[in-house]
């Protein structure tokens, strides 16, 4: 598993901020709406302790914030975060992709 995060440079003169993350030391996942807020509190605590948290909160988690939201059943966790001690070096171009990789988001 390799997660690559490639942020645009904050200014034209600055270099892009590129982070690579391998297998997490811990995984935090919420499958039910009542688990989402405690998960986000755990993510915050991990980040405040100096660890890197890489993950997502799905649209379908909206009910965790307001029961008025009517969403369909998710096809996976409502929220998922891998906890990492430190980022890894950005891989060389030929190491960055494998045939099994797919982009989660192209911005």
Domain ranges in the chain are 3-8+24-93
Spans in the chain with pLDDT lower than 50:
107
What is the tens place of the pLDDT at every residue in 25-34?
Answer: 999 999 999 9
Residue 2 exposed, middle or buried by CB count within 10 Å (0-12, 13-18, 19+): middle
Question: What is the structure's pLDDT at 107?
Answer: 46
Q: Measured on CA atoms in the order 40, 42, 47, 51, is the torsion positive or negative?
A: negative
What is the tens place of the pLDDT at every residue in 39-54?
Answer: 999 999 999 999 999 9
Please give the model's pTM, rounded to 2 decimal places: 0.77
Question: What is the structure's pLDDT at 22?
Answer: 94
Question: What is the structure's pLDDT at 38?
Answer: 98
Interatomic CA distance for residues 13 and 11, integer angstroms: 5
């Amino acid at each position: 598993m390799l997660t690559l995060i490639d942020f645009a440079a904050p200014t034209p003169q600055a270099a892009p901020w590129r982070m690579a993350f391998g297998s997490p030391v811990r995984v935090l996942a919420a499958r039910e709406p009542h688990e989402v807020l405690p998960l986000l509190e755990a993510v915050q605590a991990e980040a405040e302790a100096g660890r890197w948290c890489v993950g997502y909160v799905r649209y379908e988690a909206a009910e965790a914030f307001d029961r008025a939201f009517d969403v369909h059943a998710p096809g996976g966790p409502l929220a998922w975060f891998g906890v990492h001690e430190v980022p890894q070096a950005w891989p060389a171009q030929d190491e960055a992709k494998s045939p099994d990789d797919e982009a989660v988001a192209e911005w």
